């Protein structure tokens, strides 16, 4: 689907509620399916990726129903049954990597598959620790389909070179069903929703610095309401910062410090941002964000911050084109292994708009401030975050742009354009 974006509005104003957090939606279903009893998950995401997780759990025998459209009721016996087909994870790396951790220790065999993009993504990062725990997984040179032969697992102490929440969650979920104490250590703390939710549901889990330890545990069912996704909010934060005279409020955003790197970075850049009402929901920090058009300056984003803003880098690149001076992003090499090579994708497309931006091995360098031109077609590389970042850039282009493959937005944020229409004045 092609989407035309042009400056057919004066500014962005208003208060909006961003949809439910994708990472939390995946985890809420998976962990509820491992608890014995009824879980109630309010505000479950309507995006395609969490739907993939839900479908996979259903194929494994999970009893689920929706009430009032977005409240998901899960009646679980804490036991999966052997599926009679392959488990299709769509575009979702989180579904495949987290479910591999759950499935490696089952008494039956499974096959995890995905779409064209997912079958090209690296899975060695989860196969390696799972095999150390006694798992049997065959892959096609470290890529999916993953053929998992269920085995009895034992604990391991695993040190990962990468800070990856998906790898960490995979190992912890396998550890939940393994004999002994499993530990996972990463260089910098990646998003820790799995650990927080596991603890909240009663797991024997211990978190010390960048090391998490887990033992076999029984989980209690939960009743929770999923907060809004800061990774989706990021496009609105970016738009408010770069569209003159904007002022918006984003409600009920998840503010877990392992996800708020974008807030740190834009503050460094000089953003007018305020965090309003804050509260805790199931041990996770939640609050409202007020953000205004700001005069920005370039900044440095290094490896220690990367896990806290990994999904926001394409849209941070858009913001950086509107900041005075140089912005340098380093230590983000794994961005090349996402739904697309996001370094190449965003650099190539922003260049078409006239941005002064260059690829490096593990990041990019952007020199601002540039008036973005438009009057061209841009590609999304079948990647939702590239599609939304380019739309955001299109809001300030001098001439109309066309974004090809805009339908990929539905992977994480089907309500994206409708919400932008609400705040365009
Ligand atoms: C996610 C973790 C991140 C992120 C992805 C969602 C998760 O991946 O890029 O969109 O929900 O655990 P990595 O942890 O592999 O970097």
Residue 277 has pLDDT above 90, yes or no: no
CA–centroid distance, 311 to ligand 1, in Å, is 8
Distances (CA, A) of 12 to 17, 242, 374, 396: 15, 10, 20, 12
Residue 22 has pLDDT above 90, yes or no: yes
User: What does the pLDDT average to over 139-147?
Assistant: 97
The percent of residues in the chain predicted with pLDDT above 70, rounded, is: 100
Total H helices, total E strands in the chain: 12, 26
Cα–Cα distance between 58 and 117 in angstroms, integer? 23
> pLDDT tens digit string along 226-265?
999 999 999 999 999 999 999 999 999 999 999 999 999 9
pLDDT band at 106 (very low <50, low <70, confident <90, very high): very high
CA–centroid distance, 94 to ligand 1, in Å, is 6
How close are the terminal C-alpha atoms of the chain, in Å?
25
CA–centroid distance, 312 to ligand 1, in Å, is 11
Give me the torsion for CA of 268, 271, 275, 281, rounded to 10°: -60
Nearest residue by C-alpha to atom 10 in ligand 1: 311
User: What does the pLDDT average to over 272-299?
Assistant: 96
Assign domain 2-20+227-423 one CATH number from 3.40.710.10, 1.10.10.10, 3.30.450.40, 3.65.10.10. Answer: 3.65.10.10
Residue with tokens 């939640």: 286
CA–centroid distance, 179 to ligand 1, in Å, is 27
Distances (CA, A) of 202 to 31, 195, 354, 399: 11, 11, 53, 55
> pLDDT tens digit string along 393-422?
999 999 999 999 999 999 999 999 999 999
CA–centroid distance, 157 to ligand 1, in Å, is 21
Cα–Cα distance between 33 and 51 in angstroms, integer? 14
Nearest residue by C-alpha to atom 9 in ligand 1: 311
Domain definitions of the chain by residue range: 2-20+227-423, 22-225
Phi, psi of 212 (to 5 degrees): -120, 135
CATH class of 22-225: alpha beta
Which residue of 20, 23, 91, 187 sits with most ligand 1 atoms within 8 Å of its CB, as the best mutation to test the pocket? 23
Cα–Cα distance between 351 and 368 in angstroms, integer? 12
Per-residue pLDDT, 159:
98
Whole-number average pLDDT of the chain:
98
Residue 240, token pair as written in the block: 């408010």
**Residue 311 a catalytic site member:** yes
- DSSP result, 226-257: PPBPHHHHHHHHHHHHHSTT-EEEEEEEE--T
> pLDDT tens digit string along 112-135?
999 999 999 999 999 999 999 999
Work out the angle at residue 346's Cα, subtended by the Cα atoms of residues 12 and 356, and round it to the nearest 5 degrees. Answer: 85
Question: Whole-model pTM?
Answer: 0.97
The set of protein residues with a Cβ atom below 6 angstroms from ligand 1 is 23, 26, 94, 164-166, 169, 190-191, 310-311, 334
Cα–Cα distance between 151 and 103 in angstroms, integer? 9
Which of 221, 223, 169 is CA-nearest to residue 192? 169
Which residue of 164, 254, 258 sits with most ligand 1 atoms within 8 Å of its CB, as the best mutation to test the pocket? 164
Residue 204 has pLDDT above 90, yes or no: yes
> pLDDT tens digit string along 295-351?
999 999 999 999 999 999 999 999 999 999 999 999 999 999 999 999 999 999 999
Cα–Cα distance between 148 and 326 in angstroms, integer? 47
Per-residue pLDDT, 383:
98
Per-residue pLDDT, 126:
98
Catalytic member of 311, 334, 383, 410: 311
Q: Which atom of ligand 1 is nearest to the CA of 165?
A: 14
Nearest residue by C-alpha to atom 13 in ligand 1: 164
Nearest residue by C-alpha to atom 16 in ligand 1: 164
Sign of CA dihedral 257, 13, 327, 399: positive
Provide the CA 122 distance to its chain's centre, in angstroms: 17
Which of 391, 389, 335, 393 is CA-nearest to residue 359? 335
Residue 322, token pair as written in the block: 């509107």
Residue 212, token pair as written in the block: 């998490």
């Amino acid at each position: 689907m092609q989407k035309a974006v042009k400056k057919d509005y004066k500014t962005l104003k208003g208060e909006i509620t961003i949809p439910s957090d994708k990472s939390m939606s995946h985890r809420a279903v998976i962990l509820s399916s491992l608890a014995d009893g009824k879980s109630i998950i309010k505000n479950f995401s309507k995006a395609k990726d969490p739907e993939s997780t839900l479908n996979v759990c259903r194929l494994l025998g999970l009893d689920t129903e929706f009430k009032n459209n977005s409240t998901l009721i899960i009646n679980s016996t804490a036991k999966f049954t052997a599926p009679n087909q392959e488990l299709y994870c769509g575009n979702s790396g989180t579904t495949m990597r987290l479910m591999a951790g759950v499935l490696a220790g089952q008494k039956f065999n499974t096959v995890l598959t995905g779409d064209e993009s997912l079958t090209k993504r690296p899975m060695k990062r989860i196969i390696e620790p799972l095999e150390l725990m006694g798992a049997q997984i065959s892959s096609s040179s470290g890529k999916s389909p993953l053929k998992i032969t269920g085995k009895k697992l034992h604990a391991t102490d695993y040190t990962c070179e990468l800070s990856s929440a998906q790898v960490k969650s995979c190992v912890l979920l396998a550890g939940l069903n393994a004999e002994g104490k499993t530990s996972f250590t990463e260089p910098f703390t990646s998003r820790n929703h799995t650990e927080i939710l596991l603890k909240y549901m009663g797991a024997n889990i211990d978190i010390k610095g960048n090391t998490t330890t887990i033992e076999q545990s029984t989980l209690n069912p939960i009743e929770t309401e999923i907060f809004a996704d800061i990774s989706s909010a990021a496009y609105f934060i970016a738009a408010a910062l770069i569209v003159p005279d904007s002022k918006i409020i984003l409600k009920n955003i998840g503010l877990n410090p392992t996800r708020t790197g974008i807030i740190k970075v834009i503050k460094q850049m000089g953003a007018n941002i305020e965090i309003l009402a804050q509260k805790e929901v199931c041990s996770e920090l939640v609050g409202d964000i007020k953000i205004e058009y700001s005069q920005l300056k370039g900044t440095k984003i290094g490896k220690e911050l990367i896990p806290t803003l990994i999904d926001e880098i394409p849209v941070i690149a858009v913001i950086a084109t509107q900041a005075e001076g140089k912005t340098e992003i380093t230590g983000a090499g794994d961005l090349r292994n996402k739904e697309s090579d996001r370094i190449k994708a965003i650099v190539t497309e922003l260049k078409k708009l006239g941005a002064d931006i260059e690829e490096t091995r593990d990041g990019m360098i952007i020199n601002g401030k540039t008036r973005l031109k438009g009057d061209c077609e841009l590609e999304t590389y079948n990647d939702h975050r590239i599609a939304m970042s380019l739309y955001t850039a299109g809001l300030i282009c001098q001439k109309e742009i066309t974004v090809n493959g805009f339908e990929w937005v539905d992977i994480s944020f089907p309500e994206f354009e409708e919400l932008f229409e609400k705040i365009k004045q």
